[in-house]
Amino acid sequence: MSEREQYGFDHYDALIFDMDGTLVDSMPLHLDAWELTCAEFGIPFEREQLYQYGGIPTRKIIAMLAEQQGLTVDVEAFTRRKIALYMAHIDKVSVFPKMWELVRHYHGKVKMGIGTGSPRNQADSILKSTGLDAYISVVVSADDVTNHKPHPDTFLQVAELLGANPANSLVFEDTRIGLEAGKAAGMDTVLVIEGDLHQR
């Protein structure tokens, strides 16, 4: 089987990737930071629930959790602590091998960009430390949009920066919220589970 047949994405204007949990294996580190921060702030922690919030910025997630559980939380202090715990281990983040193959295969053939719910500094640090910055230069972070996933804004902005038609763009995502954002943008979507491509 040829590489072309293996992927079959050549006809798209753009391939747009979520970052955490899709391109890079960072979710365990995120969840570890969440668990430690929740323990420090006395907030109930459910790993599976928090994974499903992937793509939403930390301050929005903790505000939602506090409201749901009727808790009073200093959202900014929580966010700072969680980010600090995560950033202390960011050098451990690696690219999923099969996603590396895909990115390298389409480099210079199809436009590629990243739409992430992470802040700009985290995204830039990960792209630089993993070497992805040599392959993907267009990145839209949580700092670049007001309406985050599941709203389509993140992915639409990536397409705009790439000069791509949203209707002929493909989004790679690992969470339901991210897939909803891609579909809301009028794009095709692919579910990625631990670096493996699943249903389209």
Q: What does the DSSP 8-state code read for residue 20?
A: B
Neighbour-count burial of 184, counting CB atoms closer than 10 A to its CB (0-12 exposed, 13-18 middle, 19+ buried) = middle
Rounded distance, CA 133 to CA 123, Å? 10
Among residues 18, 20, 25, 174, the one annotated as catalytic is 18
Contact 90, 29 (CB under 8 A): yes
User: Quick check: is 18 catalytic?
Assistant: yes
Rounded distance, CA 5 to CA 8, Å? 5
Q: To which H or E segment does residue 52 belong?
A: helix 47-52
Q: Which amino acids are annotated catalytic? A: 18
